[in-house]
Chains A and B, each alone.
Chain A
Amino acid sequence: MKKRILPLLLLGGAIAGTMAILTSCGDSIESLTGSNQVVTDASGRVEFSQVQPILNQKCMPCHADDNYNDSAILAQGVSTFVTAVSSGAMPAPGAAPLSAVQKATLLSWLQSLAPSAAPPQPIVDAAGRVEFSQVVLITREKCAICHGSYTDSAKLSSSAASVENAVQIGYMPLDGSAPLTPVEKATLVTWLNQEQGL
Chain B
Amino acid sequence: MKKTMLIAALALLGTAQAAPMIATNGYVRFFSVTKMENIEGVCQTAVSSLDLETGKIAIKSRNTTFVFPDKLMQEHFNENYMESDKYPVSSFSGTVSGFDRDALDQGKKVAAVIDGDLDVHGITKHYHTQGSLLKAADGAVAGETLFHVKISDHGIKVPSILTATIADSMELTARFTWRPTGKAK
Which A residues lie at the B interface, using CB under 8 A? Answer: 7-8, 11-12, 15-16, 19, 144-146, 148, 169-172, 174-177
CB-based contact A145/B19 at 8 Å: yes
Nearest residue, chain B, Cβ from A19: B15
Min CB–CB distance B12 → chain A (angstroms): 6
- Are A15 and B183 interface neighbours, CB within 8 A? no
Please indicate the chain B residues that have their CB under 8 angstroms from the CB of A148 in the complex: 181, 183
Q: Is B62 in the interface zone, CB < 8 Å from A?
A: yes
Q: Are B49 and A174 in contact (CB under 8 A)?
A: yes
User: Is B47 on the interface with A (CB-CB < 8 A)?
Assistant: yes
List 22 interface pairs A-B (beta carbons < 8 Å), by A numbering.
A8-B4, A11-B7, A11-B11, A12-B7, A12-B11, A15-B15, A145-B19, A145-B20, A145-B183, A145-B185, A146-B181, A148-B183, A169-B89, A170-B88, A171-B62, A174-B58, A175-B20, A176-B58, A176-B91, A176-B93, A177-B56, A177-B58
Query: Inside 8 A of A175's CB, which chain B residues have their CB?
Result: 20, 49, 58, 93
Bound complex: CA A171 to CA B22 (Å): 15
Q: Which residues of B contact A7 (CB under 8 A)?
A: 4
Having A146-B22, A146-B49, A174-B58, one finds 19 other A-B pairs with CB under 8 Å, namely A8-B7, A11-B4, A11-B11, A12-B7, A15-B15, A16-B15, A146-B181, A169-B88, A169-B89, A170-B89, A171-B89, A174-B47, A174-B49, A175-B20, A175-B49, A175-B93, A176-B93, A177-B56, A177-B93
CB of B8 within 8 A of CB of A15, answer: yes
What is the interface of chain B, defined by CB distance below 8 A to chain A? 4, 7-8, 11-12, 15, 19-20, 22, 47-49, 56, 58, 60, 62, 88-89, 91, 93, 181, 183, 185
Q: Whole-angstrom distance from the CB of A172 to the nearest CB of chain B?
A: 8
Within the complex, what minimum Cβ distance (angstroms) separates B121 from chain A?
14
A-B contact count (CB 8 A): 53
Q: Which residues of B contact A172 (CB under 8 A)?
A: 60
Which residues of the other chain, A, contact B183 by a CB distance below 8 angstroms?
144-145, 148
Q: Which 10 A-B pairs have the closest CB atoms?
A: A176-B93, A169-B88, A15-B11, A175-B58, A146-B22, A171-B89, A174-B58, A170-B89, A12-B11, A174-B49
Residues of A within 8 A of B11 (CB): 11-12, 15-16
- In angstroms, Cα B15 to Cα A179, docked, is 25
Q: For residue A176, give the distance in angstroms from its CB to the closest CB of chain B.
A: 4
Among A12, A145, A177, residue most surrounded by chain B Cβ atoms (within 10 Å): A145
Q: Which residues of A contact B60 (CB under 8 A)?
A: 171-172, 174, 176
Residues of B within 8 A of A146 (CB): 22, 49, 181
Min C-beta distance of B22 to chain A, whole Å: 5
| Min C-beta distance of A142 to chain B, whole Å | 12
A172-B58 Cα distance, complex, nearest whole Å = 11
Complexed CA–CA distance, A145 and B172 (Å): 29
Kindly provide the distance from the CB of B31 to the nearest chain A CB, expressed in whole angstroms.
Answer: 24
A15 to B14, CA, bound (A): 11
B48 proximity list for chain A (CB < 8 A): 174
- Complex: chain B residue closest to A141, CB-CB: B185
CB nearest neighbor in B for A148: B183
Residues of B within 8 A of A169 (CB): 62, 88-89
- How far in angstroms is the closest Cβ of chain B from A2? 16
Complex contacts, A144 vs chain B, CB 8 Å: 183
Query: What separation, in Å, do the CA atoms of A177 and B56 have in the docked complex?
Result: 10
Chain B residues with Cβ under 8 A from A19's Cβ?
15
CB distance from A198 to the nearest CB of B (A): 20
CB distance from B9 to the nearest CB of A (A): 10
